[in-house]
Amino acid sequence: MTEEQKAPQITVLDAGGQYCHLIARKIRELGVSAEVRPSDTPAAELAGRKGIVISGGPASVYEAGSPRIDPRILHLPGAAVLGICYGLQIMAHELGGEVIRGEKGEYGMAVLRTVRSHPLLSGLNGETRVWMSHRDRVEAPPPDFISIAVTKECPVAAMAHTSLPLFGLQFHPEVVHTEHGKEIYSNFLFRICGCERDWDPRGRVPQIEADIRRIAGDRNVFFFVSGGVDSTVAFTLCLRALGPERVYGVYVDTGLMREGETEFVENVFAKLGATQFHVEDAGARFLGALEGVTEPEEKRKRIGEEFVAVQERILGSGDFLSGRWILGQGTIYPDTIESGGTAKADVIKTHHNRVAGIQMLIDAGRIVEPLSSFYKDEVRQAGDELGIPREFLDRHPFPGPGLAIRCLCSESEAPVDRVKDGWILPIRSVGVQGDSRSYRQVLLIDGAPGDPGLHERATTLVNREVRVNRVIVRASGAAPETLRRTRGTVTKDRLARLRAADAVVRQLAAEHDFDHGIWQFPVILIPIGAADRPDSIVLRPVHSVDGMTAESVSIPAPLMTAFCQRLLALPGIAAVFHDLTHKPPGTIEWE
């Protein structure tokens, strides 16, 4: 039996969690082979595994139709079992513990306190920061289990059986924001499961290129490219695998792009050696499709449909519809998992490359997505192996639907609501809470943007206030009591306003060397204004590794002052805000 045919040492059972594949990736990074399989995989198919991890998920274990496991895996000879979040809860539920809905959720950063020493938590002494995303909790562990760690809101943040290799964690050690998460997985793999190192995550480019050649066969590949990291790396992989004469690229200028984006993309692909490259100006079509639309999912749907319509028109203009061509895309794993891409996952937001028209191409086998099992940091690693210049690889991620999803809309006016903790803004944004999509209002609070305690306060408030999934603070501009929701859709004027604001932020962030210390910096236009200034700007700098979780980043006072001076000088801008929300509970983008 070859190395490729060997069964992996660890299987991750997918209960629909947003971080399911991230768990497997973290395990592979530690040098141990891992796979992902459905949560209800029969125990007989997992014989020989040294460990099983049950992922988180959006469901409640006490509800009908929630994901289930084969209970025999909890007694599988030679296999230790670790439940994460929902996995902890289903383990407790199956074995006679009590799982309840908490009075309030626990989303984002929490402080874990170990109450008993245990090999799983070896190296965690006293208190440590962990990443939470749950409302349900284990109130009482099953018989023969003990709680080994707690948080302020969770009496069983970690549990272990007194004699069997069964363990559970309510928090997510796989996300970058959990301190000592790597150590916890290392403890599980090597101290508890007895795993050996048998996986090398480096040098994957040759295998990817071989996969491209296998999928393409004698067909050519047609790409709609964005100029972002993902499509650039995917396109380059196909160039390497098939040669430039077999790879055709079209950049669709949707009219929803940043200032100077089209010229930048043309330069990128010229340097890559793309000899077949074309820019398609489709701005009027996309703007027409978005006329009057205010709901974010409808925006994404229409943008996706317009992409497909443009694609079909271009493909129909030549011989691209013949069997000689297939479609290439730079889809990465978060695109599919947040769109409900695994069996039990909740749809957080619909990505333009997973709408019905694209799915039809996938079902027909006329697509190649070299990076669909990769995360953003892994894509950059592959780009490094390909020799792509860092100026391309280090670009901040930019959403496929462009500025349209950073331009929030409203059909009618409404007042701002004064509440105990601040002001409820009558606009809604997309969030992810307990692995599920939320669409809730925004809480504006008082405070100095540079105050180091603001993020902790924001986390507390968003966990307590069920009406909101996002907390912002005013940096400058009109006072909250003078603001109200205004009417506004995706128009040429509002896009120009947002494009100008985005350009200002990118320029100043680069000048102050702020952009190198963050992962992404969305600039959002919201229909909150006063008098003749109908809109406001929200600044959303975040730190992340893979986009699955993110931490809101403070902005230095001198830079914030510069932002506010320049942004408030733009026509139509009433105020500037700073988004204090981590992911979860808020998605990185607002829509």
At 481-525, the pLDDT tens digits run: 999 999 999 999 999 999 999 999 999 999 999 998 899 999 999
Asked whether residue 199 is domain-assigned, the answer is: no
Is residue 25 domain-shared with residue 73, that is, in the same domain? yes
Q: CA distances (Å), 205 to each of 201, 386, 540, in order?
A: 10, 8, 33
Asked whether residue 590 is domain-assigned, the answer is: no
Indicate which residue of 134, 172, 180, 578 is catalytic: 172
User: What is the total count of domains within the chain?
Assistant: 3
In the residue annotation, 174 being an active-site residue is answered as: yes
Is residue 325 domain-shared with residue 452, that is, in the same domain? no
Q: Which domain holds residue 66?
A: 3-192
C-alpha to C-alpha distance for 22 and 8, rounded to whole angstroms: 16
Is residue 387 domain-shared with residue 413, that is, in the same domain? no
C-alpha to C-alpha distance for 585 and 440, rounded to whole angstroms: 11
In the residue annotation, 351 being an active-site residue is answered as: no
Report the CATH number at residue 51.
Answer: 3.40.50.880
Residue 435 pLDDT level (bands cut at 50, 70, 90): low
At 364-402, the pLDDT tens digits run: 888 999 998 777 777 888 898 888 888 788 888 888 899
Is residue 70 domain-shared with residue 180, that is, in the same domain? yes
Distance between start and end Cα atoms, the chain: 48
| Mean model confidence pLDDT for the chain | 89
**What pLDDT score does 341 carry?**
46
At 158-167, the pLDDT tens digits run: 999 999 999 9
Residue 433 pLDDT level (bands cut at 50, 70, 90): confident
Is residue 333 domain-shared with residue 398, that is, in the same domain? yes
Out of 74-83, 346-355, 539-548, give the one with best mean pLDDT.
74-83
Q: Indicate the range of 219-228, 278-287, 532-541 predicted with least confidence.
A: 219-228
Is residue 277 domain-shared with residue 355, that is, in the same domain? yes
Listed in sequence order, the residues at least 6 apart from 471 whose beta carbon sits closer than 8 Å to its beta carbon are: 442, 443, 444, 445, 457, 458, 461, 462, 579, 580, 581
At 75-105, the pLDDT tens digits run: 999 999 999 999 999 999 999 999 998 777 7
**Average pLDDT for residues 337-348, to the nearest whole number?**
51
Is residue 170 domain-shared with residue 214, that is, in the same domain? no
Report the CATH number at residue 343.
Answer: 3.40.50.620
Indicate which residue of 85, 238, 407, 409 is catalytic: 85
Size (the chain), residues:
591
In the residue annotation, 118 being an active-site residue is answered as: no
Q: In this structure, are strands 51-54 and 80-84 parallel, antiparallel, or unpaired?
A: parallel
Listed in sequence order, the residues at least 6 apart from 44 whose beta carbon sits closer than 8 Å to its beta carbon are: none
Asked whether residue 585 is domain-assigned, the answer is: no
Is residue 164 domain-shared with residue 239, that is, in the same domain? no
